Amino acid sequence: MLEQPPASPLRPPAPASAGLLAQAPTCLPAETPLDMALAHLASAPSAAVLAEAGGEFVGILTERTAVQLTLGGLQYERLLGEVCSQPLLWCEAAESYVDVYERMLTRGVRHALVRAPDGQLAGILGESAILDRMGIEHFAHLDALEQIMTVRPHTLPVTASVDAVARTMREAHVGCVIAVDEDDTPAGVITTHDITRMLAAREDLAAVCLAARMSTPVIGLEADRPVIEAAQLMGIHRIRHVVVTRAGRIAGILSQHDIVRCLEHRYVEVLRRMISRQAEEIDAHRRLVAQGNLLDQLLSRTHELGLCLIEPHGDIRFANAATHQMLDIDGRAELVDRDDLARRLDDDSRPRLAALLGLAHGEAPVTLRAGGRAILARACPLGSGDILLILVDEQVAAEAGEWLGFSRHAFGAMGLPLVWANGSGRITMRNSAFDTLVGSAADTPLAQDLFSLLDDAHDLTRHAQPPGPDIRKRTGLRRPDGTTIPVELFFTRVHFCGECYVGGFVHDLSAQTRMELALHDTEERLVALLETSPDFIAVKDPASRWQMANTAGLRMYGLEDRDWRGRTNDELAALAPAPLDDMLRRCNDTDLRAWSQREPIRFLEALPRRSAPGVRHLDMIKTPIFDPDGQPKALMVVGRDISARIAAEQARQAAAGRLHSALSGMDDLMLIVDADRVVRDHYPNPAPTRFPFDHGVLIGKSLDALLPSPAADHLQRAQAALAHGDDVQSFDYRVDSAKGAQWFNARISRHEHVEDGGRGMTLMVRDTTRARQTTEALEQLRNTLEARVSERTAELEAALSELETFSYSLSHDLRAPLRAISGFSRLLATEFGNALPAGAGEYMARIRTAVDRMDRLIDDMLDLARLSRKPVQRERIDLTHMAKRIAEELDERDATRRVRWDIQPGMMARADPLLLHSVLDNLLGNAWKFTRDATAPCVRVYTCRDGDPTAFIVEDNGAGFDMNYADQLFQPFQRLHSPREFDGNGIGLATVQRIIRRHGGTISGESPDQGGALFRFTLGH
């Protein structure tokens, strides 16, 4: 167990008073129409409206009450006083809000009325105000949201009606419903506040869709985030609920109520108070039980008491058998009057009897003697003027104790009601305490009939023979005002003059019943608080015996299935698995330290995990509780699992280390200054030498001394702009040195937090000398760009002119020799054909074929050059029509061939018509040519829209090509088939590629293994 010295034992911070947190009240007359009250409720800062009648507040209307009113349709004509909640919780303005909130939890309300010192209403205290009051120190114990969130939030599809939302809120008693999409992802949130605004506007909830009224976007956090982030979100967005998600799915919902009721200072304090209150209630209950035991013992001694009832004029109306026995009177004789009684006593006792009976009020018992027997006697005046003389043998009194039958406690201070009645139920004797209990005068008819006063009173006289069994039973006492109170009877039966009498003491159980109910309620609340808490919570007696513990705490120590109650730490260590047994033994040290210091102690305990490797870090708080006499009463132990917090702190430190490393290695200089422009820190440290600062210690120096004069002026203006709320400020400044001019850029941002009464700022300084030089060079290039463009344009025009001249030369200078070769070869064949040797004719034919091919090659080269120069003029083209027309021309070239053309209808494109015609002419011509040897030649033209832009495809089932040489397809004069197989000059696909590229498109070709070729091209946008 890791323990730290309790240098700062847990001391809850001095709580603010309820008056400081109270919000402005919204008060309306009770006769205000409901629609007007709802309108005020929608804008009330405390989310509540008070109803006032006759100068007093008679009820409160909250948003939850408004939602409950929607059951069966909202009746707007009703009045505020008719619908508002009646119970009101008042508190004093000087009270601690912690105490007030404890009462709010006990009463099950979320608002308290704050009374000012002058008795007037000062405001309304709600949970929102309490949460706003809390600082980050109050959330130190709250780890992840998943520990306190509601794990099963209520959801509805976005298509549901708002009326369905209100119905869910009424039935489930919740203040928020999450709207979800079809895939159960959160789409929005709707609360009682939203519905209240709709009710104030008299909207039909059944006609409004949830999607139209839900709040978007969803404000949410992952389940492993700390609670402080949720509280901050609630404050920023002024909301009361945050959706909790896990991997994008809904895991729960967190409300302000969830956070406030789990705050540590309230959590520990309320738990301690509940335990103290329970102990006090147990003590009070024990006193009531002891009082009942006293009466029980008194009842058990009744047969040894002598009872003698003496009327005002001295006649003895009744004397029981014990009286006859103590006075040694024959059972057949009767006592007649007080003189007859005196004669039965010794001479020296007669004056004492007269003095005892003559007193107005009963005093302490006196000793009388009769025949040598010492008898204790006491006179009890009754309300009717009669005197009840109680006699007891002195020896019996010594055994039973004076308190049993004669003490002031029994007959004096306790003021026990006493009553006797005859067999018909008529009350024959009663004391004033009984009249007070009944609440009626002794002469009223009801007060004279025991059967009318007590339930089941007829059973009291069923046994006729004395002494009969003593009677101790619980029943009800019906009072004349119509109320019935619980009582316990301590009765006995006697026979006198042939008639049965029953009577004795009546014990009022009202206080005991209230105490038992309060004790039961306290126990239930305490058990609920313990069992719903994920913390370790235990209560020990001064001997370190465990009296109470929650399931979560028992599970941490491996005691959930052990008989732990009433055992000490050492006894539990023998039951716990290792190494948890050692942890339990060490608890003795911290228990003793808490008792010796007489104040809470706080330490860290590392508890081995049972189901996973590693340890569980518990923030332990042990609070000793003492009774009013300063004696130890109980030790409350609370341990919160802060493993996630410690891991987060370690991660934060690692992140801080990485940030420090990153800042230390950055190229800029960051200066962190306070409101007085004094440097508090800087990164990197030390500052790089390229910055013109004194390279000693920068921390503690003023920016005015570090920056040059022009920069200081810029800084002052930037700081003034930030003070007025402007965004990040930036300026450039120049520093002249022996190295030349240096330029720097400074960016200034204002700190959000306040330190020492002012807001500091961050100054980022960057060396922009190289960037400035580059910018100047670019500016020079920009200034000369127009001249250079004109120069390049002239060069291009000259090149184009030369290309035109070359084309002309190519067309005329090359064609002249070709025409001569072709002409002379024809003359030679015509005039000297018969004289030529065998085989010369074939040579002449080859010469003419080569000349024709060269002529076509020149034409193709001229076309390629011409197409490269032609500007692209896009227009809408019916590509289907163009392809069909080219296909018809190809079919006309060879009437013997039958090619099936499959051209997709409706193909449209935006392109240059002349250039696109050249593309299709080349591609379809190649397809027609290379399908010459196919059994069933087929050419397809279609589109593919799997991308953007649309791709056009020309596909055939012809000879195809070798994919190993696919990279040569679009190179000029490259042929993948020999001239003997298929004619051509290798210019067509090069021309196609150049046209496609001029359109901003792409073209590619492929040849499947089964033969054929496929060309895919696009035309850009």
**3 state SS of 729:** strand
CA 903, 908, 914, 920 dihedral sign is negative
Listed residues 82, 116, 133: the one ending a domain: 133
Give the rounded distance of the alpha carbon of 913 from its chain centre: 66
pLDDT given at position 878: 93
CATH number at residue 363: 3.30.450.20
Separation CA 861–CA 344 (nearest Å)? 163
Domain boundary pick from 133, 153, 187:
133
State how far the Cα of 79 lies from the Cα of 671, in Å rounded to an integer.
65
pLDDT at 581 over 70: yes
β-partners of residue 615 are: 608
Residues 123 and 90 in one domain: yes
CB distance 85 to 59 below 8 Å: yes
CATH number at residue 1009: 3.30.565.10
Based on the fold, state whether residues 708 and 856 are members of the same structural domain: yes
b/e sequence 22-57, b meaning 16+ C-beta within 10 Å? bbebbebebebebbebbbbbbebebbbbbbbeeeeb
Instruction: Kindly report, residue by residue over 616-640, the tens digit of the pLDDT.
Output: 888 899 999 888 788 888 898 988 8
Reduced to 3 states (helix: H, G, I; strand: E, B; else coil), residue 183 is: coil
With residue 830 as reference, give the H or E element that holds it: helix 815-831
Say yes or no: 720 and 857 in one domain.
Answer: yes
- 976 domain residue, yes or no: yes
φ, ψ of residue 214 to 5 degrees: the values are: -70, 155
Q: How far is CA 351 from the centre of its chain?
A: 85
Q: Indicate if 779 and 885 belong to the same structural domain.
A: no
CB atoms within 10 A of CB 1: 17
Q: In what order do the strands lie in the sheet with 220-222?
A: 220-222, 241-246, 249-255
- Counted residue by residue, the chain has a size of 1021
Contact 429, 450 (CB under 8 A): no
Per-residue pLDDT of 280-316, as tens digits, reads 655 555 555 555 554 455 444 555 678 788 888 888 8
Residue 443: inside a domain: yes
- CB atoms under 10 Å from CB of 350, counted, come to 16
The predicted structure's pLDDT at residue 410: 38
CA–CA separation, 125 and 777 (whole Å): 68
Please tell me the distance from the alpha carbon of residue 450 to that of residue 487, in angstroms, as a whole number.
14
Residue 576 forms part of a structural domain: yes
CATH number, domain of 236, equals 3.10.580.10
Residues of the chain above pLDDT 70, percent: 79
Is the per-residue pLDDT at 781 higher than 50? yes
H-helix segments, 63-148: 63-68, 80-83, 97-107, 127-133
Mean pLDDT of 82-101: 82
Calculate the alpha carbon distances from 12 to 136, 269, 590 in Å.
Answer: 14, 8, 20
- What is the rounded (10 degree) CA torsion for 869, 872, 878, 884? 10
Mean predicted confidence (pLDDT) in 59-87: 76
Residues 910 and 988 grouped into a single domain: yes
Q: What is the pLDDT of residue 685?
A: 72
Q: What was the pLDDT predicted at 780? A: 83
Same domain, 638 and 764: no
- Same structural domain, 197 and 118: no
Sole residue written with tokens 């709707």? 190
925 domain-assigned: yes
2-46: pLDDT as tens digits: 333 333 322 333 457 888 888 889 999 988 888 888 888 888 888
Q: Report if residue 278 sits inside a domain.
A: no
Same domain, 725 and 800: yes
Task: Decide which of 845, 869, 893 is a domain's last residue.
Answer: 869
Residue 276 in contact with residue 625, Cβ under 8 Å? yes
The dihedrals phi and psi of 818, each to the nearest 5 degrees, come to: -65, -40
Specify whether 920 is located in the same domain as 989.
yes
The pLDDT score that the predictor gives to residue 413 is 37
Is residue 716 located within the same domain as residue 818?
A: yes
Strand runs labelled E in 158-235: 176-180, 186-191, 220-222
- Residue 414 belongs to some domain of the structure: no
Reported as a single tens digit per residue, the pLDDT across 190-246 is 988 888 888 888 888 888 898 888 888 888 888 878 777 787 788 777 788 889 888
Tokens of 120: 């007037």
- Cβ 927 vs Cβ 901: under 8 Å: no
Domain range for 679: 666-869
Q: What is the pLDDT of residues 995-1004, one digit of tens each?
A: 888 888 999 8
Is residue 293, in this structure, part of any structural domain at all? no
Using DSSP's 3-state secondary structure scheme, residue 602 falls into strand
Number of domains composing the chain: 7
Percentage of residues of the chain with pLDDT beyond 90 = 8
**pLDDT (tens digit per residue) in 863-893:** 666 666 667 788 999 999 999 999 998 888 8
Give helix 192-200 / helix 162-172 axis angle, nearest 10°: 130
* DSSP H or E stretch at residue 420: strand 418-422
User: Do 886 and 989 have their domain in common?
Assistant: yes
377 and 461: one domain? no
Looking at the domain assignment, is residue 276 inside a domain? no
